[in-house]
Structures are given as structure tokens and as C-alpha cells.
Amino acid sequence: MEVSASLEKALDGMTSGAVVLCASFHHARNIEAVAGILNDTLTPQALIGGTARSVFTDQSTESDRCGLCAFVLAGDGIQARSCALDWSSGPAELTTSSQWRELLHTGAGHAGVFLLADPFSSAPEPILSAMDEARLGALGGGLLSGSTLPGGNLMVAGERIINSGMVGIGFGGEFSCHSVMSNGCRPIGKPMVITEVRGDLIVTLGGRPAAEVARESMLALDETQRARFAHGLRIG
């Protein structure tokens, strides 16, 4: 498989600690096999993954395109462990900080945690609250988007496959880790001042009708950017 071969070559003998796999929904039926190949080829301490609407690396992938990507944390002294929580039988009972630490803390040098959760069976607020109390370092992750129906998202942790709940990976070593977040938007047009509102409705921008300014900004975009514009406009 191209992904595993590329990673094996890039690692050049380094020890694989943690692997995070993301697969577009086209690969849902094969995600178990893909994870197995990565486990056999890279022999990481821990691996998690899930299905998404689209995936990307340093070379962007257009929405709905078929693709696979994997992130590897490698090097001497890396520690990693993963878990899979299947909540198909009911809501999660695992909410205390001590339980999360037992599952994902990697001991001395622990640096952070990465989570992938099914949006139809996971409630982010209590999970994040417990994670904060558990002091598990830098935190990252998100809700999977590979399916629009309950049970359609697939997640993998090690050799286990689930379609409800969440998977997580904890990692550490002789390095520091920090997490940042972006709202996923790209600025367009010129900065404008809101000059009139009616309740929560923006009436004018820079003294001109807001709809007129939005249309003008859209017409200045190329064809690809206009297609993205059609999915929604955020002002902030």
C-alpha cells in the first residue's frame, strides 16, 4: 500500500510510537485491512483512525475525493497507548478523570491526547470536561464526518473496529506538545466595519447594504473559491 510504503521509507528505521489514520468514506469497507497493513509494516505502539468526508496532508485534497492519510509520531523514547470505547449499548459511563488517565496516560513524559469520536453517539462537553480534570496535556481531535447516518462512521484502535463511541491515543516522550485551533475559515474581500444592525441581522457594512458587499466579494473570487463560498459565509 502506498501510504505504508511511503511512511516506512520516511521513517528510515526509526521506531514508530503513535499512528493516526484518516480515511475518506470511500475506504470505509477496507479500513480494517488498511489499519492491519500499517500495524504490520510500522509496528507502532498504538494506532487509531476513522472515516471522514475528505482528508488532506501538506497537499490539499478536494472535498469528497477518495483518499487516505496517516500521521506518525516516531523516535527513540516515544510512548503511546490507545483505547476504543464502544457506546452502541448505551451512553458512556467512562466520565471520571481517573478513568481517562488510566486509559490514555503514558507515564513520565506524557505529552498529550488525540481523540476521534462518532457525532451520533458522543457528547463532546462531558468528555472535554473530564479530560481537563485528568490533566492529560495537549488535547486535539474531532468528530468524524464520513457518514451522515448513525452507525456509518468507522473507527479503529489497534486491531479493534467500532462504529459507535470514540477512539483515543495518548502519547509522550522527551518533547513538549501544544495544541491550537482554527475555525477553518479563509478570509475574503476587504475588512469592513459593521455600520448598522437590526437585532442579530447585519444591515450595512461600511455604509453599504451587507448583501451587496457579500455579492461583490463573491464575484471577485475564482471558480473554486465561489464553490466553497456557496457552502456558507462567516463574518467575524
* Counted domains in the chain: 2
Structural domain harbouring 216: 185-236
167 and 87, same domain (yes or no) = yes
Asked if residue 235 and residue 141 are part of one domain, the reply reads: no
Q: Per residue of the chain (236 residues), give pLDDT as tens.
A: 688 888 888 888 888 999 999 998 888 889 999 999 999 999 999 999 999 887 877 655 455 578 888 999 999 899 999 999 988 766 555 668 888 999 999 999 999 999 999 999 887 788 888 888 899 999 999 988 888 888 899 999 999 999 999 999 999 999 889 888 776 677 788 888 999 999 888 999 999 999 999 888 889 888 888 887 877 777 76
Residue 193 within any structural domain of the chain = yes
3 state SS for the chain: CHHHHHHHHHHCCCCEEEEEEEEEHHHHHHHHHHHHHHHHHHCCCEEEEEEECCCCCCCCCCCCCCCEEEEEEECCCCEEEEEEECCCCCCCCCCCHHHHHHHHCCCCCEEEEEEEECCCCCCHHHHHHHHHHHCCCEEEEEECCCCCCCCCCCEEECCEEECCCEEEEEEECCCCCCCCCCCCCCCCCCCCCEEEEECCEEEEECCEEHHHHHHHHHHCCCHHHHHHHCCCCCCC
Please check whether residues 38 and 116 belong to one and the same domain.
yes
Cβ(18)–Cβ(79) below 8 Å: no
46 & 82 share domain = yes
- The rounded distance, in Å, linking the Cα atoms of 80 and 105 is 9
Reading the block at residue 58, the C-alpha cell is 501538506
136 within a domain of the structure (yes/no): yes
pTM of the model: 0.74
If asked whether residues 71 and 6 sit together in one domain, one would say yes
Asked whether residue 179 is assigned to any structural domain, the reply reads: no
Separation of alpha carbons 168 and 46, rounded Å: 10
For residue 177, tell me if it sits in a domain.
Answer: no
Domain co-membership, 119 together with 217: no
